[in-house]
Amino acid sequence: MKLKQYQVDAFTDKVFGGNPAAVVPLLSWPDDSLLQAIAEENNLSETAFFVPAEKAFQLRWFTPLREVDLCGHATLATAYIIFEILNYSKQVITFETRSGTLFVEKNDTRLEMNFPVRMPTPCELSEILARGLGQRPIEVLAADDYLAAFDSEATVRAITPNQALLGQLDLRGVIITAPGMEADFVSRFFAPKYGVPEDPVTGSAHCALAPYWANKLGKNILTAKQVSKRGGNITCEVKADRVFLSGCAVMFMESEMSL
């Protein structure tokens, strides 16, 4: 069996930036063990698989260790392939996923994703989290991930986490964030229990970050920068229970798998 695969850098306008994702078009779903094996072989933070349906595309995401409920950068990468390589003629792509129906709209060179808000709520700071970060945040909240807020971008950039300790936490991962110097806010994201020690740019984390900072800053349109080694930029807009995340994407590689 031969399968096409594309590798796309998401939330960037140049290769070697943003977050790389593999995208695999399928005509039907094979056994989940094959999907997981492909993701493990790719060893990227996410591999996305999609199957065309009557009025939408079914979309799933896998880390090297497991399937996840929501992934932003791999959704952006998949939409890029459908628009640019498969020449999809409509302006909006509909995806059916484990997190419900998602939409991606093409606006010139940018793609805008329509995702559900994941409003974080305050929680206690556990000693495992504090030791895992090596710093005590000024505030801790939780949604799909822990969100640890700090007072400066410099602090966020300087943190060297203990991945073994963070992997013991009960939620998916840990977001660290602070006000930005050139953007409204900055962040980093760690998910070692999912095989992702540090994710370069994490769209799904901004489903919690955007409403958090919208409340803090008193505005619904925000600029965000994930300050990983590769880095990436996201524009966020909060509207009621939805968050709109927009960014660019570029293709790095096209390949064919022999299975």
Give me 219's structure tokens: 């505005």
What are the beta bridge partners of residue 244?
114, 237
Query: Pairing state of beta strands 139-142 and 146-149?
Result: antiparallel
Is 256 an active-site residue? Answer: no
The contacts found for 30-33 with CB under 8 angstroms, 24 or more apart, are: 32/67
In this structure, are residues 33 and 71 in contact, taking their beta carbons and an 8 Å threshold?
A: no
Give the integer Cα–Cα distance in Å for 28 and 72. 23
Give the burial string for 55-65 (b: 16+ CB within 10 Å, else e). Answer: ebbebbbbbbe
Give me 57's structure tokens: 């595309």
From 46, 112, 153, 198, the catalytic residue: 46
Name the residues annotated as catalytic: 46
